[in-house]
Homo-oligomer: A and B are copies of this chain.
Amino acid sequence: MEKKKLRIGLIGTGFMGRTHSNGFNRITNFFPNLAYEPVMQAVCSRNEEKVKAFAAQWGYASYETDWRKLIARDDIDAVDICTPNDTHAEIAIAAAKAGKMILCEKPLSRTLAEGEEMVREIEAAGVKNTTWYNYRRLPAVTLAKQIVDSGKLGRIFHYRANFLQDWTISPDLPQGGAGTWRLDVEAAGSGVTGDLLAHCIDTALWINGGITDVSAMTETFIKERVHTESGQVQKVGIDDACLFHCHFDNGSLGLFESTRYARGHKALYTFEINGEHASLRWDLHDLNRLEMYDHADESIVRGWKSILVTDGDQPYMDKWWVPGLSIGYEHSFVHQAADFLKSLETGEPCSPTFREALQTQKVCEAVIDSAKQKQWKDTNVEWPC
């Protein structure tokens, strides 16, 4: 059977450009039964030499140095946005107006207002859209969602998540530019809130439902850094750390923390959910495992169970190897790419849509506002949406 083609135009060749490209490049090998197959049609970045090399390395048939040209091309079905946050809105809106499907790297936008405009325009254009909150697609995380949806946990009391890193502790690290735009508030919009907590919030909304209101604190530990482009010492505008607690629609309490100043943690994303009958927890540093405590177990042998999520009857794992053999971080993007292709086949939206990702922006904005104003903030999240 001849497969239908999805011709992709990727914008941005940084770290996320690599993860997305890899995501699509693995489809033919590991998801051979999809009706659609991706075609690496074009990639775009401003530096011609680099984008050319990137195209060769990742198998793109052509390249552009101006994203507007890429969007204008007739041979592109979907635009995949991997550029810094300050360009998401402009590119996405232009792509929508050009009738392209859009896959946008997270966070959706720098600010809520930007995000709202994006959703308005994309929905007005009626184009297919999704946001790359990739961690949902790790098998252990998807299994957690399945277990919660089955009702096995009963009434939920607590949800907690953190995302801890340590890569910005040195005051010598500059802000701005290729490797460090995440430290530049103009490019990033926020610090750990949009970069890391947004992941935690997306997973929480997906698994535990809407967040009602938040109370937050943020901190900028290193107040000034040299800016890569200007060479000047400038005030640091991002949040280095962000902590908040919140209420969920289901009455449970949420506790979230993120920082880039937790020495020893490289990418420690963990979450835990405590229900009346059972609890679950997960850790990105050991991503193939889900831990579960089930009060229904016989009393003398109750305990936290370490579930190695590598069996064929567990999410996505029929596509890979055999029980006991683990997969890694990059596979989350392969799964998201596959799910997007599958959604073309079924006609269903590919979650998280821009509208869903906007709810995460609402929480992020309420968090930042709460920290600034030192008071509780309603989020106005609509979930499901």
State the CA gap A164–B289 with chains docked (Å).
Answer: 18
Number of interface residues of A (CB under 8 A): 94
A243 partner, pick from B253, B289, B299, beta carbons under 8 A: B253
Q: A22 within 8 Å of B by Cβ?
A: yes
CA distance A279 to B285 in the complex (A): 17
What is the distance, in angstroms, from A196's C-beta to the closest C-beta of chain B? 12
Given contacts A157-B259, A261-B157, A306-B304, contact A268 B15 (CB under 8 A): no
Q: In the complex, A326→B56 CA distance in Å? A: 25
Whether A329 pairs with B327 at a CB distance below 8 angstroms is: yes
Q: Are A264 and B304 in contact (CB under 8 A)?
A: yes
Q: Given A323-B267, A324-B268, answer yes or no on A143-B300 (Cβ-Cβ < 8 Å).
A: yes
Instruction: For the complex, give the distance between the alpha carbons of A376 and B217 in Å.
Output: 10
Residues 248-274 of A at the B interface (beta carbon under 8 Å): 251, 253, 255, 257, 259, 261-268, 274
In the complex, how many angstroms separate the beta carbon of A294 from the nearest chain B beta carbon? Answer: 8
For chain A residues 270-298, which have a beta carbon within 8 Å of chain B? Answer: 274-279, 284-289, 291-295, 297
Whole-angstrom distance between the Cβ of A162 and the nearest chain B Cβ: 8
Contact, CB under 8 Å: A275 / B263:
yes
Q: B276 touching A263 by the CB < 8 A rule? A: yes
A322-B267 contact, Cβ under 8 Å, with A262-B158, A305-B301, A328-B328: yes
Known: A262-B157, A276-B263, A324-B267. A376 touches B376 (CB 8 A): no
Task: Pick from A25-33, A85-93, A229-237 the stretch touching chain B.
Answer: A25-33
- Give the dominant DSSP class at A's interface: mixed
A261 touches B29 (CB 8 A): no
Q: In the bound complex, do residue A29 and residue B15 qualify as a contact, i.e. CB atoms below 8 Å apart? A: no
Residues of chain B contacted by A215 (CB below 8 angstroms) = 215, 217, 374
Given contacts A25-B29, A147-B301, A266 and B165 within 8 Å (CB-CB): no
The contact of A305 among B221, B251, B265, B303, by CB within 8 Å, is B303
A-B contacts, 23 listed (Cβ < 8 Å)? A29-B57, A160-B257, A215-B217, A217-B245, A217-B253, A219-B253, A263-B274, A263-B275, A263-B295, A264-B295, A264-B304, A266-B310, A285-B324, A288-B328, A292-B301, A297-B305, A299-B311, A299-B313, A303-B306, A305-B305, A321-B329, A328-B328, A374-B376
